[in-house]
């Protein structure tokens, strides 16, 4: 019996320790900085001189660590389709196609009749009166 209690306490401690590690956000380990490198001692020498006309100036190095800005993509032209009554505009091919054949008009008329028949007996009750006391806001999450 004592063994079960001890095992349970150890398991509970490991769970608490794991949750604590996860919540505190384990930082990656970084090696400590070593001693600064030193330059070997060299005897003093005369500086080299070259004619200024033969030396090209070095290009300035980019010190920014951000990536170069990319140009925005050109905006695609939006298709303009005039609005037409009793016509279907089909976008299934990617481009607007106006379908106004007699078969399409008959299908639209059937659909409108079905919607009117389905909504014929639909009524909405009046909205409930607003309470005079303001509702309590939900508690803030931490």
Cβ-contact 87, 74 below 8 angstroms:
no
pTM of the model: 0.29
pLDDT at 14: 96
Cβ-contact 97, 90 below 8 angstroms:
yes
pLDDT at 1: 82
Domain extents in the chain: 90-117
State residue 97 phi and psi, 5-degree precision.
Answer: -125, 120
Rg (CA), the chain: 39
Q: Give the whole-angstrom CA distance, residue 122 versus residue 128.
A: 18
pLDDT at 30: 72
Which tokens go with 46? 């005369």
pLDDT at 97: 82
Q: What does each of the 142 residues of the chain score in pLDDT, given as a tens digit?
A: 889 999 999 999 999 998 888 887 656 677 777 777 776 666 666 666 666 665 566 666 656 566 666 667 777 777 777 777 767 788 888 888 888 888 888 888 899 999 999 999 888 888 777 656 556 777 777 6
Q: Which residues contact 87 (CB under 8 A, 6 or more apart)?
A: 98, 99, 100, 104, 105
Q: Which of 81, 85, 142 has the alpha carbon at shortest distance from 109?
A: 85
């Amino acid at each position: 019996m004592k063994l079960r209690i001890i095992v349970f306490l150890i398991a509970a401690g490991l769970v608490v320790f794991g949750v604590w590690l996860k919540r505190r956000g384990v930082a990656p380990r970084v090696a400590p900085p070593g001693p600064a490198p030193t330059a070997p001692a060299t005897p003093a020498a005369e500086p080299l001189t070259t004619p200024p006309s033969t030396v090209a100036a070095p290009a300035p190095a980019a010190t920014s660590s951000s990536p170069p800005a990319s140009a925005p993509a050109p905006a695609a032209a939006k298709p303009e389709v005039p609005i037409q009554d009793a016509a279907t505009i089909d976008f299934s091919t990617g481009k607007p196609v106006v379908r106004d054949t007699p078969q399409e008009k008959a299908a639209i008329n059937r659909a409108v009749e079905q919607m009117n028949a389905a909504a014929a007996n639909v009524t909405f009750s009046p909205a409930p009166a607003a309470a005079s006391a303001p509702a309590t806001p939900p508690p803030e999450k931490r």
